[in-house]
Amino acid sequence: MSKWNSFNRREFLSTALGAAASFSVLPSGHRLLSELLEPQSKFAPFQFPDDFIWGAATAAYQIEGAWAEDGKGESIWDRFSHTPGRVKGAGTGDVACDSYHRYKEDVALLNALNLTSYRFSISWPRIQPDGSGAPNPKGLDYYKRLSDALLEAKIRPLCTLYHWDLPQKLEDAGGWPNRDLAARFTDYVDVTVRTLGDRVSHWCIFNEPWVFTFLGYGRGIHAPARENFAECMRATHVVNIAQGQAFRAIKAINSKLQVGTAFSMSNCEPATKSDADRQAADRAHAIGNVWFIHPALRGEYPKAFPGENPLGLMGVGVKSGDMDLCRAPLDFLGINYYRRQLISAVPPGSGEDATGVHNFDGHEGPLTDFAWEIWPDSFHDLVFRISREYKTTPLEITENGCSYLDCPDEHGRIPDERRVQFMRGYLHALGRAMLHGANVRAYHHWSLLDNFEWAEGYAQRFGLTYVDFRTQKRTIKDSGHWYAKLASTGSLT
């Protein structure tokens, strides 16, 4: 373990606070460590380890554009964004950041930011336009060129196989609630990794499985815009099976490839100290944070629903032998973290779902321009909790970021001081979690570029780099310069 600023981990654990923080003495719970820390120590200078990986993240549909080029098929996000009324301002990913043509410029940006890891995603309909069958060589070539450019720049490609852009043909055949999709997905993973596995050694199978099943099939505010809770729950099970099968397919190609998934997570904090709210917060954690981890690492679903035989009641559709299919000893867990959730108990069935949970945003901290609350302690507590629950699996922060609409000033500079403060807060929280024992090896900021923000279209800007969407000119924001310095020294003040 390399240099820590004030004291190393072993020394820390021998202090009173360290002892309280050690895994064995803390009960499962919320905000305990943050409550123990003095406010001034939250910003104590922190030195990240020398081998810590600094990166940025993007996703195919949000940046590539070229939506119908070189044989690419239609995805559910093409269909969704081309349907009037679905996306704010009628935004689409047709052009987005045009990264399909400008990827070299984007690799140069990563280089200028001193980053050593780039998390990007592969568009399934570029590889299999209809979702099955022979791969499209032009699609594969694009990702070969991109990966080669990254390797040339000494940047690790961290490639996500599914960041939400399902081929529309597969949605027409039933989408994720259809069990056949697990086999289709495994086939796509197999052809892709067979071609790229000689260059790309780190893979995320899915991006945020809870978000694309819940928002896409349950709430209908993301593609494919279905609103059916039973279908959503079935979809989650098919995704869990697909995760297990994809994991085995990748390992069969090369057992040395490192495979994980990027999970969306929120620290679930009980709204009051009542037992009912605490239990509801645990159920919210089960469904929202670890619903796709527990089956992979432990071969069972976590307890997310009150009552007897809850999985049967929820119609998840678990058949005999399924939980073995879901098993996948993931090499790392990716955490995408944006904000906490406050949780109160409601009678099952009367809340947003059958978990008997009502969740709402915290509003003690300041808000970003997307109105997401800033509460770095919750990041510390979540990372610490996950590292304790899945002790032996290393963590990578695969996304964390904020939307601010700062524009170029009269000199063309983008003074986004609020993003710098956001990053300082969350990275200090991460550093504290590491001091307390969390095994975190990487941080990827969302995002490298301002881009297409799903149903929000172009109304949000998450980039370290400002994109002028009329000209495609990229300009590194002040926060990007700040992050570049951190990435080169690892020294957080």
Please give the positions annotated as active site.
208, 399
Judging by DSSP bridges, how do beta strands 395-400 and 357-360 pair with one another?
A: unpaired
> Contacting ligand FCB (CB under 6 A), which of 208, 322, 373, 377?
208
> Contacting ligand FCB (CB under 6 A), which of 264, 289, 387, 465?
264
* CB of 174 or CB of 365, closer to ligand FCB: 365
* CB of 120 or CB of 462, closer to ligand FCB: 462
Window of 205-213, 227-235, 274-282, 357-365 that interacts with ligand FCB by CB under 6 A? 205-213
> Contacting ligand FCB (CB under 6 A), which of 187, 269, 396, 453?
453
* CB of 249 or CB of 293, closer to ligand FCB: 293
Within 334-363, the residues that bind ligand FCB by CB under 6 A are: 336
Smallest distance from the beta carbon of 405 to ligand FCB, in angstroms? 14
Dist CA 491 CA 77 (whole Å)? 40
414 binds ligand FCB (CB under 6 A): no
> Contacting ligand FCB (CB under 6 A), which of 211, 221, 346, 459?
211
- Each as own residue / partner, the long-range contacts of residues 311-320 (CB below 8 Å, 24 or more positions apart, any chain) are 313/354, 314/230, 314/233, 314/354, 315/230, 315/233, 315/234, 316/233, 316/234, 316/236, 316/237, 317/179, 317/233, 317/234, 317/237, 318/237
459 binds ligand FCB (CB under 6 A): no
SS3 of residue 105 by DSSP: helix
Q: For residue 228, give every residue at least 6 positions away whose Cβ sits within 8 Å of its Cβ, in sequence order, or none.
A: 217, 218
CA dist 157 → 57, 106, 281 (Å):
10, 13, 36
Smallest distance from the beta carbon of 300 to ligand FCB, in angstroms? 26
* CB of 456 or CB of 478, closer to ligand FCB: 456
Residues 269, 281 contacting (CB under 8 angstroms): yes
Residues 119, 204 contacting (CB under 8 angstroms): yes
> Contacting ligand FCB (CB under 6 A), which of 54, 124, 446, 466?
446
Number of H helices, E strands in the chain: 19, 15
| Residue 414: both structure tokens together | 């983008």
Smallest distance from the beta carbon of 393 to ligand FCB, in angstroms? 20
207 binds ligand FCB (CB under 6 A): yes
389 binds ligand FCB (CB under 6 A): no
Dist CA 261 CA 244 (whole Å)? 11
483 binds ligand FCB (CB under 6 A): no
* CB of 63 or CB of 354, closer to ligand FCB: 63
Smallest distance from the beta carbon of 324 to ligand FCB, in angstroms? 29
* CB of 336 or CB of 378, closer to ligand FCB: 336
In Å, the largest CA–CA distance within the chain is 65
Smallest distance from the beta carbon of 166 to ligand FCB, in angstroms? 15
Nearest CA to 262 out of 48, 442, 484, 456 is that of: 442
Dist CA 288 CA 264 (whole Å)? 8
Cα angle 466-71-151, degrees, rounded to a multiple of 5: 50
Number of residues that bind ligand FCB (CB under 6 A): 12
Smallest distance from the beta carbon of 338 to ligand FCB, in angstroms? 6
75 binds ligand FCB (CB under 6 A): no
**How big is the chain by its Cα radius of gyration, in Å?**
22
Within 144-173, the residues that bind ligand FCB by CB under 6 A are: none
* CB of 46 or CB of 462, closer to ligand FCB: 462
Smallest distance from the beta carbon of 92 to ligand FCB, in angstroms? 15
Q: At what angle do helices 180-196 and 137-152 cross, to 10 degrees?
A: 50
Smallest distance from the beta carbon of 268 to ligand FCB, in angstroms? 17
> Contacting ligand FCB (CB under 6 A), which of 462, 466, 482, 483?
462
* CB of 46 or CB of 337, closer to ligand FCB: 337
Dist CA 32 CA 414 (whole Å)? 38
Residues 199, 143 contacting (CB under 8 angstroms): no
59 binds ligand FCB (CB under 6 A): yes
* CB of 78 or CB of 399, closer to ligand FCB: 399
Number of other CB atoms surrounding residue 327 within 10 Å: 17
Nearest CA to 444 out of 427, 431, 468, 456 is that of: 427
Smallest distance from the beta carbon of 362 to ligand FCB, in angstroms? 18
Number of other CB atoms surrounding residue 397 within 10 Å: 25
Q: Which positions lie near ligand FCB, rule CB under 6 A? A: 59, 62, 207-208, 211, 264, 336, 399, 446, 453-454, 462
